Structure 1
């Protein structure tokens, strides 16, 4: 798997992914900062990136109906989407904590995330929940 980290997340996530043995880069490292979601989706799909974002709605659509809208709504096949759902006033530490949970889930899957979404959510009571589901469904 190779990962592309969205510009809304810390570049420190790239370092952690590389330490774990994955190929990873950040949107800013590709000089794609400020690109529209649609333009970024073309890059993600063409290069088979597993995309990591903090903007779940923009890419998977509404939580209740994933795939009904958002960047991945028209994708027939993709390398996977990881949504780190956290408060907007989060810290790099929180992002790294959620990434650790995502890496743990990926290890349990013993494969890849082709046509799947991995959502890692930090709840108000500080518990972390991970959910994996297919997209397209």
Structure 2
């Protein structure tokens, strides 16, 4: 499994990933800066990269329907890092420390659950202001 770190996240997630073992790269390192989300999704699907992102709406679809990644019949999967306070309905600052913490949680989940293949799945790691919630679901789920 290899991870493509979206440009909305810190490039330091590559170092985090390298510590745990899997291959990782950034959008920038692969020369994809400025590409549209659908182009990133196509590149990821064609080259077996699991997309790691914070703003996953365009890739997985609003309300989990119809995103660019889901247009691919077979895709390597996605990790979505989310920080949203559900009680106050406000976004939580997704700083580098938060990004690293949520990504490490995702990598530990994959290792612990032997989920070495996210084929056609999304692993969502969400900090709601009080606790971290993990959700693994098939995408498309329909």
Cα contact 2:75–2:119 (8 A) shared by 1: yes
Match of 1:7 in 2: 7
RMSD: 1.3
Equivalences for residues 104-123 of structure 1 within 5 A: 104-110=108-114, 111-123=116-128
Cα contact 2:42–2:69 (8 A) shared by 1: no
Cα contact 1:3–1:24 (8 A) shared by 2: yes
Match of 1:75 in 2: 72
Give 1:88 shift. 6.0
Equivalences for residues 94-133 of structure 1 within 5 A: 94-110=98-114, 111-125=116-130, 127-133=131-137
CA distance in 1 between counterparts of 2:66 and 2:47 reads: 22
TM-score, length-scaled by structure 1: 0.91
SS in 1 for 2:69: coil
Cα contact 1:75–1:136 (8 A) shared by 2: no
Q: 1:47-100, CA deviations, whole angstroms, 9 ceiling, x for partnerless residues?
A: 01011010121111124xx2x221122111111110001246321000000011
1:136 to 132, 136, 140: 140
Q: 1:91-130, CA deviations, whole angstroms, 9 ceiling, x for partnerless residues?
A: 10000000111011101231211111000001022x1111
TM-score, length-scaled by structure 2: 0.88
**Unaligned stretches of 5+ residues in structure 2:** 84-90
SS in 2 for 1:25: strand
Match of 1:27 in 2: 27
CA distance in 2 between counterparts of 1:90 and 1:41 reads: 22
**Unaligned stretches of 5+ residues in structure 1:** none
Q: 1:21-70, CA deviations, whole angstroms, 9 ceiling, x for partnerless residues?
A: 1110000111211110111112111101011010121111124xx2x221
